[in-house]
Structure 1
Amino acid sequence: MKVFGSSGTRGVANEALTPTFVLRVAKAAGTAWGADRVAIARDTRVTGEMLADAAAAGLTSVGVDVDRLGRVPTPGAQAYAEHEGVPAMMITASHNPAEYNGVKLVGDDGVELAVPDLERVEDIFLGETFEPATWDEVGRSTRVEDAADRYVDRVLDVVDRETIADADLTVALDPGHGAGALTSPEFFRRLGCRVVTVNAQPDGHFPGRDPEPVPENLGDLGDLVRATDADVGIAHDGDADRAIFYDETGEYVEGDATLAALAAAELGPGDVTVSAVNVSQRFVDVAEETGARLELTPIGSTNIITRVRELLADGEDVPLAGEGNGGIFFPDYHIARDGAYTAARFLELLADAPVSEVVAPYGGYHNVRRNVEYETEAERTAMLAAAEGRAENADAELDTKDGFRLDYGDAWVLARPSGTEPLVRVYAEAHDAARAADLADGMYEALLDAKESA
């Protein structure tokens, strides 16, 4: 797909991602959906209102009425879409830096569009085969004031509030100035937790930290856990569809360990689970131990959603799917990543043991990640050619579903182009920290050399 990547479409706002571009996406989506109403929501980015206005103009121009939800987490917009039976456009760049924005398209079942549906929208976009309304049939906009409150109520209704409340937990929360700042503090308080916060003011400049919930951005959360003697730290990305955790000592918990712990509690013989090609061996081990079948897709929520829906249509049981970045699906609840729901399910595990004990069985692995930026298509092409050359010469099992994953048995390394940023990403994992670093550094240096020679 040329327009939609692994999780919607994103770019630097007012440069690559202009109001005109978003208006055209909205016209294409409105034409493809043929719906009477569509919801529009946004995260806290400073360009969100501008781009939501453009989306509303595009939709109303093809005769669609618009429900304007305002600032809501992506799972909140999805919950609204499902409840009302209307498609939705979410204006968000998720974990990307403040200057970015983007668009996610959600069907009337509250699920992000699968690849075939996105391709239909994309064909209309590229061919400009919009279906504009006549002057007297254009759509109208209506503001919806309670979408965030309705979302919180929905999640509270489907988690084990009694178990969580009885655990008497103190939650240190870092919503990162994103959409979760509007919902998660109240959500965890209503679960019966004592809540302390950092970066909890909604602010699209993201003054306290960048939106991506990775260790280098979350030092304040670790400090808050230690200072308040909290039982757990929870961080969201910009649109709050992901949750990352800190343990009771203020130490970062690898997202892969969290995914494995939740999977161990959910999966059983005969189940199917889905992850991406950067899957941790932790998750592979849990699938094998529980008797579940693991299927891998290219990286990105769109690809995982597409495969989960196919499996469910075939009558398979898929209790859990997701990636180690904190984006986890519980399809029996909803085929959507939901940071608040994921966090609540993790809090349920803390009724019997502290965080460090819950994730202890899934330790012993070391992960290294590197990014190489590029400015031109020639640099990108040269780096991918270098990754392919390294793969061809390696004594490892090669997987090319998404980039080049080399599995050495005791460790693996993956190089792939980002679907949302001008980056080639390198991932490596091994039991030995030095082994993981060597694999990542070797691939990283090969990419750098190729970039400089391009």
Structure 2
Amino acid sequence: MAPKFGTSGLRGLVVELTEPLVHDYVTAFLSACPHGGAVHVGRDLRPSSPQIAGWVIDAIRAAGLKAVDCGAVPTPALALSSLNAGAAAVMVTGSHIPADRNGLKFYVPTGEISKEDEALINRALGQTAPDAEQGSLTQADARAAYVARYTDAYGTEALQGLRVGVYQHSSVARDIMIDVVQALSGTAIAIARSDKFIPVDTEALDPDTKKLFAGWFAEHDLQVLISTDGDADRPMLVDDAQRVVPGDVLGAVTAASLGAKVICTPVSSNTMIDAEGVFDFAQITRTKIGSPFVIAAMEDALQADPAARVVGYEANGGFLLGFAAQAPTGKLAPLMTRDCLLPNLAPLVAARAAGQPLSALLDALPPRFTAADRIQGIATETSKAFIAKLTEDAAARAAFFAATGPESALDTTDGLRVTFANGDVVHLRPSGNAPEFRCYAEAGSRDTATALVDTYLGKLGATLSA
């Protein structure tokens, strides 16, 4: 897979992320986008990341700019560091995808790059960098301010008495999660730390991983379990009933707890937020999948009303804060990049403030349930061609979805999202940065949503491999 921009930065096979290619993209970024004279550099824990980060730093210094090496650090912590410094940033990460792949995420001094920025970077590729005196290299700790962001906002007693399992695996936030839980007076139990990179996709956890949770709850007498993906821009939260809480449910609960009024979220997110009399949201904007599209919608909302209490979140749980929100013991400054800690912490704090377990808070929400999974190894071109056929051919679509019944609505905002007469929803979409075909489903029961995903991934596998 030749490296290219997808829904979340540049991604490609490690063997194709060569030193010349990395230099070319970083140089293009610095020539095409604002940078504030310095660039913060972070990385995840996959084996290839230190070398690629070194190439990124070399390219920054060759351009005559100051390189700030933040080491192994969560993506949102790096973004917070660069935003506070008025500098650009480059994160070396492949997020949740396997270790044979990696990538780059670019940040201008105001936050994530936009799709327009991506186009400018692509146009600047191949240009020779102007001669410049080599820039300086310093180091910085981006972790401390990120931890303080949440300890200051939620206070030292927010999780008092709560036993929290921390599934560490190879997440770059594995120690930070322990630090934050303990700082909030929770009891943090470190679980399954790995020296080998594990591509945990919090949006599509594999069955073997889920089977481990029950054992961990019993062995450690856990009340909840938290984790993140590899670069810590996606949360994972398992409630006291040992259920993995979908990211778009975490997003809705977090938004409500912060007093948000304007919600920007992809078309794939749970429709419970549309229910009357449940959430006090004034505006809901649906976007294509990917943080650049969510950010663009948030920026539109803020342009229309600079005081808008706007947030964004994705079905994977990554949460973006667009206004200065009041938390129990302090303010949370805006951070318009996907974050894992806020949507892990806010629902726990909200449940404890209400004097109930997390499961009770969640069970009071409208009964709309989502599920998601993927088929790996399916070329993006193959996925796109299949979706185009179903989109254009109503008969082919009806035949493929015959088991679920007649459709009542069709949405092609991003992929193919079909709503059926019985209220069920199936959404098919190629991944934007990996050879994967994703399936999302929504229904009135958890079992039905899961069954829909299993059914249609099975059909996709049989159809595309035939």
The TM-score range, normalised by the shorter chain, is 0.7 to 0.9
Answer whether contact 1:163 1:348 (CA < 8 A) is retained. no
Please give the TM-score of this superposition, normalised by the length of structure 2. Answer: 0.85
Cα drift, residue 85 of structure 1: 1.0
- Answer whether contact 1:4 1:122 (CA < 8 A) is retained: no
d(CA) in 2 for partners of 1:22, 1:368: 36
User: 1:97 is paired with a residue of what secondary structure?
Assistant: coil
**1:184 pairs with 2:177:** yes
Which of 136, 142, 151 is 2:138 aligned to? Answer: 142
- Distance in 2, Cα, partners of 1:31 & 1:23: 12
Post-superposition offset of 1:6: 0.7
Cα displacement string for residues 344-395 of structure 1 (whole angstroms, at most 9, x for unaligned residues)? 2222113221111111123634434342345556533432234323586563
Contact 2:86 2:109 (C-alpha < 8 Å) held by counterparts: yes
Identity of aligned residues (%): 25
Correspondence 1:271-290 to 2 at 5 A: 271-285=261-275, 289-290=279-280
Pairing 1:210–2:199 present? yes
Residue number in structure 1 paired with 2:163: 170
2: distance between equivalents of 1:436 and 1:341?
26
Which aligned pairs between 1:286-325 and structure 2 lie closer than 5 A?
Answer: 289-315=279-305, 317-325=308-316
Q: 2:122 matched to 1:122?
A: yes
Provide the residue aligned with 2:28 in structure 1. Answer: 28
Residue 95 (structure 1) shift: 1.4
In the alignment, is the contact (CA less than 8 A) between 1:175 and 1:237 conserved in 2? Answer: no
Matched, 1:220 2:212: yes
Q: Which has the higher strand share?
A: 2
State yes or no: 1:362 paired with 2:365.
Answer: yes
Distance 1:149 1:231, change over 3 A: same
Q: Which residue in the other structure is 1:83 paired with?
A: 84
SS of equivalent to 2:217: helix
- Structure 1: 5+ residue runs without aligned partners? none
Give the drift of 1:13: 1.2
**Take 2:223 and 2:450, find their aligned partners in 1: how far apart are those partners?**
31
Q: Deviation at 1:193?
A: 1.1
Q: Could you tell me which runs of 5 or more consecutive residues in structure 2 were left unpaired when the two chains were aligned.
A: 324-333, 399-405
Label 1:374 to 1:122 Cα distance change in 2 as closer, same or farther (>3 A): same
Give the Cα–Cα distance (whole angstroms) in 2 for the partners of residues 64 and 121 of structure 1: 18
Distance 1:406 1:287 in 2: 26
Q: CA deviation at 1:141?
A: 2.1
Deviation at 1:435, TM superposition (A): 5.0
Q: Is contact 1:278-1:299 (8 Å) kept? A: yes
Evaluate the alpha carbon distance shift between residue 254 and residue 341 of structure 1 in structure 2; reply closer, same or farther with a 3 A threshold: closer
CA RMSD after TM alignment = 2.6
Normalised TM-score (structure 1): 0.88
**Per-residue CA distance 1:278-337 (angstroms, 9 max, x = gap):** 111223327974242211111111211121122112216244320232212222231122
Q: Spell out, residue by residue over 1:86-135, the C-alpha distance to the aligned partner (whole angstroms, 9 max, x if none).
A: 100000111112222111111213x211222222222212xx2343324x
CA contact (8 A) 1:19 1:50 kept: no
Contact kept? 2:319, 2:342, Cα under 8 Å: no
Paired residues of 1:40 and 1:68 also in contact (CA < 8 A): yes
C-alpha distance in 2, partners of 1:321/1:291? 12
Q: Report the residue type matching 1:154 in the other structure.
A: R
Match of 2:222, SS? coil
Conserved? CA contact 2:163–2:222, under 8 Å: yes
Identify the range of structure 1 (278-287 vs 32-41) with the bigger mean alpha-carbon deviation.
278-287
CA distance 1:437–1:247, change in 2 (3 Å)? closer
| Residue 375 of structure 2 is aligned to residue 372 of structure 1 | yes
Q: Which residue of 1 aligns with 2:401?
A: none
After superposition, give the CA deviation of every residue in 1:249-306 in whole Å (9 maximum; x if it has no partner): 43322333323322333456xx220111111122332797424221111111121112
- Match for 1:321: what amino acid? G
Write the letter of the residue equivalent to 2:172: A
Stretch deviating more after TM superposition (78-87 or 175-184): 175-184
Q: Which residue identity lines up with residue 245 of structure 2 in the other structure?
A: V
Q: Distance in 2 between matches of 1:30 and 1:38?
A: 9
Per the alignment, do residues 361 and 212 of structure 1 end up closer, same or farther by CA in structure 2, a change over 3 Å counting?
A: same
The reply on whether 1:415 has 2:423 as its aligned counterpart is no
